[in-house]
A and B are shown apart, each in its own frame.
Chain A
Amino acid sequence: MSSYRIQGATGEWEVVIGLEVHAQITTQAKLFSGSATAFGAEPNTQVSLVDAAMPGMLPVPNRECIRQAVRTGMAIDAQINTWSRFDRKNYFYADLPQGYQISQLYHPLVGEGSIEIALDDKNPDAGTKVIGIERIHVEQDAGKLMHDQHPTMSYVDLNRSGVALMEIVSRPDMTSPAEAGAYLTKLRQILRYVGSCDGNMDQGSMRADVNVSVRRAGEPLGTRTETKNVNSVRFVMAAIEHEASRQVDVLEAGGKIVQETRLFDPGTGTTRSMRSKEDAHDYRYFPDPDLLPLVLDQAFLDECRASLPELPDAKRTRYTDVLGLSAYNAAVLTADVDTAAWFETLITASAAKQGKDEAAVAKQAANWLTSELFGALNKLGKGLEDSPVSPTSAAELLALIGDGTISGSIAKQVLEKMLETGDGAAAIVEREGLKQTTDTGAIEAAVDAVLAANADKVEQYRGGKEALFGFFVGQTMKAMAGKGNPQLVNQVLKAKLG
Chain B
Amino acid sequence: MRNNRSERMTDLTELGVAALRDGVASGAFTATEVASAFNAAVEAAQGALNAFIVTTPDAALAAAGKVDAARAAGQPLGKMAGVPIGMKDLFATKGVQTTAASKILEGFVPPYESTVSQKLWDAGAGMLGKLNLDQFAMGSSNETSGFGNVISPWRKGDDTTPLAPGGSSGGSSAAVAARIAPAATGTDTGGSIRQPAAFTGISGIKPTYGRCSRWGVVAFASSLDQAGPMARDVRDCAIMLEAMAGFDPKDSTSLDLAVPAWEAGLNADMRGKKVGIPREYRVDGLDADVAKSWEDGIAWLKDAGAEIVDISLPHTKYALPTYYIIAPAEASSNLARYDGVRYGLRDLPDGANLQEMYAATRAAGFGDEVKRRILIGTYVLSAGFYDAYYTQAQKVRALIAQDFAKAFETVDVILTPTAPSAAFALGQKSTDPVEMYLNDVFSVPASLAGLPAMSVPAGLSRDGLPLGLHVIGRPLDEQGVLNASLALEQRAQFSAKPGKWW
Indicate whether A and B interact.
yes
Residue positions of A touching B, CB distance < 8 A: 49, 52-61, 88, 90, 92-94, 97-100, 154, 156, 282, 284-286, 289-292
Across the interface, which residues of A come within 8 angstroms of B114, CB to CB? Answer: 56
Chain A proximity mask over B268-297: 1 for CB below 8 Å, otherwise 0:
000000000000000000000000000000
> Does A55 contact B105, Cβ atoms closer than 8 Å?
yes
Flag if B343 contacts A289 (CB, 8 Å): no
Report whether B112 and A60 are in contact in the complex, using a CB–CB cutoff of 8 Å: no
- Would you give 21 A-B contacts (Cβ < 8 Å), ordered by A? A49-B112, A55-B218, A55-B337, A56-B92, A56-B215, A58-B215, A59-B252, A60-B250, A61-B252, A90-B381, A92-B355, A93-B354, A94-B341, A97-B342, A284-B381, A286-B329, A286-B333, A289-B221, A289-B222, A291-B252, A292-B253
- Tell me whether B108 is interfacial, beta carbon within 8 Å: yes
Are B253's CB and A100's CB within 8 A?
no
Instruction: Contact check, A58 vs B333: say whether CB atoms are below 8 A apart.
Output: no
Q: Which of B250, B336, B354 sits near A99, CB closer than 8 Å? A: B336
The reply to whether B381 and A55 contact each other, CB–CB distance below 8 Å, is no
| In contact, B110 and A292 (Cβ under 8 angstroms) | no
Q: Are B215 and A99 in contact (CB under 8 A)?
A: no
Residue of B nearest to A99 (CB): B336
Contact A58 B214 (CB under 8 A): yes
Q: Are B92 and A55 in contact (CB under 8 A)?
A: yes
Docked pose: A496 CA to B269 CA in angstroms: 118
Please tell me which stretch of B382-390, B425-433, B493-501 contacts chain A, meaning at least 4 of its Cβ atoms lie within 8 angstroms of it. B382-390
Q: Does B358 sit at the interface, judged by CB under 8 A?
A: yes
Q: Are B341 and A55 in contact (CB under 8 A)?
A: no
Within 8 A of A (CB), among B369-415: 378, 381-383, 386, 390
Give B305-333 as 1s and 0s: 1 = Cβ < 8 Å from A's Cβ atoms: 00000000000000000000000011011
* B339 in complex: contacting residue of A61, A92, A154, A291, CB < 8 Å: A92
Known A-B contacts A60-B252, A98-B337, A284-B382; the reply to A52 vs B222 at CB < 8 A is no
Complex-state Cα separation, A59 to B253, whole angstroms: 10
Q: Is B223 part of the binding interface, using a Cβ–Cβ cutoff of 8 Å?
A: yes
B252 touches A56 (CB 8 A): no
CB atoms of A56 and B216 under 8 A apart: yes
Q: How far is the CB of B341 from chain A (nearest CB, A)?
A: 5
B251 within 8 A of A: yes
Given contacts A58-B252, A88-B333, A100-B336, 6 further A-B contacts (CB under 8 A): A55-B100, A56-B214, A94-B339, A154-B354, A284-B378, A285-B386
Q: How far is the CA of A58 from the CA of B339 in the complex (A)?
A: 18
The reply to whether B381 and A290 form a contact with Cβ atoms under 8 Å apart is: no
Smallest CB separation, B401 vs chain A (Å): 15
- Secondary structure call for the B interface: loop
Residues of B within 8 A of A (CB-CB), count:
44
A99 with B108: CB separation less than 8 A: no
CB-based nearest B residue for A283: B383
Binding site for A on B (CB under 8 A): 91-92, 98, 100, 105, 108, 110-112, 114, 214-219, 221-223, 249-253, 329-330, 332-333, 335-337, 339, 341-343, 354-355, 358, 378, 381-383, 386, 390
Say yes or no: A97 contacts B341, CB within 8 Å.
Answer: yes
Contact A53 B337 (CB under 8 A): yes
When the two chains form the complex, which single residue of A54, A58, A282 contacts B250, counting CB atoms closer than 8 Å?
Answer: A58
The main secondary structure of chain A at its interface with chain B is loop
**With A60-B252, A88-B333, A98-B336 as contacts: A54 and B343 at CB distance below 8 Å:** yes
**Residue on A with the closest CB to B355?**
A92
Partner of B336 from A57, A61, A92, A289 at Cβ < 8 Å: A92
Considering the complex, give the chain A residue whose CB is closest to the CB of B217: A56
State in angstroms the CA–CA spacing of A237 and B100 once bound together. 52
Q: Are A55 and B108 in contact (CB under 8 A)?
A: yes
The interface residues of chain A lying within 8 Å CB-to-CB of B342 are: 52-54, 97
Q: When chains A and B are docked, how far (Å) is the Cα of A439 from the Cα of B221?
A: 90
Q: Is the CB of A99 within 8 A of B222?
A: no
Nearest chain A CB to B367's CB is how many angstroms away?
A: 16
A474: shortest Cβ distance to chain B, in Å? 76
Decide if A286 touches B381 in the complex (CB within 8 Å).
yes
A284 touches which one: B92, B333, B339 (CB < 8 A)? B333
Instruction: Tell me, in angstroms, the Cα distance from A163 to B87 when the chains sit together.
Output: 34
* Shortest beta-carbon distance from B374 to chain A in Å: 11
Verify A58–B343 contact, CB threshold 8 A.
no
Cα A156 to Cα B342 in complex, Å, equals: 10
What residues on A are CB-neighbors of B214 within 8 Å? 56, 58, 290
For the complex, what is the distance from the CA of A59 to the CA of B333, rounded to whole Å?
14
List the A side residues contacting B112 at CB < 8 Å.
49, 54
In Å, the complex CA distance between A57 and B383 comes to 28
A52-B342, A90-B333, A94-B341 known; A289 vs B223 contact (CB < 8 Å): yes
Taking CB atoms, residues of chain B closer than 8 Å to A92 are 336, 339, 355, 358
Residues in A neighbouring B336, C-beta threshold 8 A: 90, 92, 98-100
3 closest A-B pairs by beta carbon, nearest first, are A99-B336, A289-B222, A284-B381
Residues from chain A with a CB closer than 8 A to the CB of B358 are 92
Looking across the interface, which residue of chain A has its beta carbon closest to that of B344?
Answer: A55
By a CB distance below 8 angstroms, the chain B residues around A98 are 336-337
Check A100/B217 contact, CB under 8 A, given A53-B342, A286-B386.
no
Known contacts A54-B112, A56-B219, A282 near B382 by CB under 8 Å: yes
Q: With A and B bound together, what is the CA distance between A369 and B225 in angstroms?
A: 63
Residues from chain A with a CB closer than 8 A to the CB of B252 are: 58-61, 290-292
Residues from chain B with Cβ under 8 Å of A88 in the complex: 333
CA distance A286 to B326 in the complex (A): 11
On whether the beta carbons of A94 and B337 are closer than 8 Å, the reply is no
- Measured CA separation A7–B243 after assembly (Å): 75
By a CB distance below 8 angstroms, the chain B residues around A290 are 214, 219, 222, 252-253
Give bound CA distance, A88 to B377, whole Å.
14
